[in-house]
Structure 1
Amino acid sequence: MLRPDLPYTGGMKRLQDFTVGDTFEAIREVDSYRPIYYAAASGDFNPIHIDPQVGRAAGYSGAILQGMCTFSWLSDACVAYLGDPARLRRIRARFTKPVQVGDVIRFQGRCVALDGPRIALELEATNQRGEEVLKGAVAEGHLGEG
């Protein structure tokens, strides 16, 4: 599925199109409606995500984005690089800093290993202040069939 908000990679990449050292990037901005949209889609209606006053009472500038929304954007960046959602087999990350409404998140990845059809990626996500919002992020993929 093509997404207009993510870079188009030019179709399905073949195994030989990937090399160790490849990099990729995606940038997402957290608009004021994003936590509400994600709450509706996920059922996560925790007030800290949808009520700016609750976010401020917790010490933030307003509502904070659901962590799984940030994580899904990281997954989207990997899928855009890999060219097919079925190629992404595993992904993990540790949440280190809340993402707030108004933040601009830069997702970056690098291919660190290729072993036949298996691929390993190191990932990071930082806000516009250069602060890591996800740490220790890695993904594994399979570039062959099945």
Structure 2
Amino acid sequence: MGARSLASVSVGDVLGPVTVPVGRDTLVAYANASGDQNPIHQDEEFARSVGLPDVIAHGMWTMGAAGTVVAEWAGDAGRVIEYGTRFTKPVVVPVGGARIDVTGTVTSVDAESGRVGVDLTVTSEGQKVLGRCVAVVRLD
């Protein structure tokens, strides 16, 4: 997708919905890349022993996956100038895999600065997994 222009964006515009799959192989790859080898992300028996229903995705993977959706919408990851969230529920990843669903709404457009605010809703199995998920994107 090419770079999105400021003139093509209005308050109320919707981004998505975009579905991002996550499987056990994704968790292993993320653990290896990030160095986060916590067994709750890869060992089902361990995850259950600490009270989880199954292995869970890394919170930072979930945040990053949602951020990638914004970057793709903007046309370039370098256009995302602010991004923050709170982790509200883990993404449970059974053997068959899971998914997160990302939808965004443009909440502000500042023509002078070229900044666009986007509120994101990120869910898995109908449950909100990220809260107060907000991005600021610079568009030309």
Give the structure-2-normalised TM-score.
Answer: 0.90
Q: Is the 8 Å Cα contact of residues 24 and 42 (structure 2) preserved in structure 1? A: no
Q: Which amino acid aligns with 1:64?
A: I
Q: CA deviation at 1:143?
A: 1.1
Name the structure 2 match of 1:4: none
Name the structure 2 match of 1:28: 20
Q: Which amino acid aligns with 1:99?
A: V
Q: CA RMSD in A?
A: 1.2
SS at 2:68's partner residue? helix
Q: CA deviation at 1:40?
A: 0.7
Alignment counterpart, residue 59 of structure 2, candidates 49, 54, 67: 67
Give the structure-1-normalised TM-score.
Answer: 0.86
* Further displaced range: 54-63 or 80-89: 54-63
Please, which runs of 5 or more residues in structure 1 have no aligned partner? Answer: 1-9
Q: What is the count of residue pairs matched by the alignment? A: 134
Name the structure 2 match of 1:41: 33
Please, which runs of 5 or more residues in structure 2 have no aligned partner? Answer: none
Name the structure 2 match of 1:132: 128
Name the structure 2 match of 1:103: 98
Identity %: 34
Q: Is the 8 Å Cα contact of residues 64 and 99 (structure 1) preserved in structure 2? A: yes
Instruction: Select the structure with the greater relative contact order (CA < 8 A; seq sep ≥ 6).
Output: 2
Q: Which amino acid aligns with 2:4?
A: K
Name the structure 2 match of 1:7: none
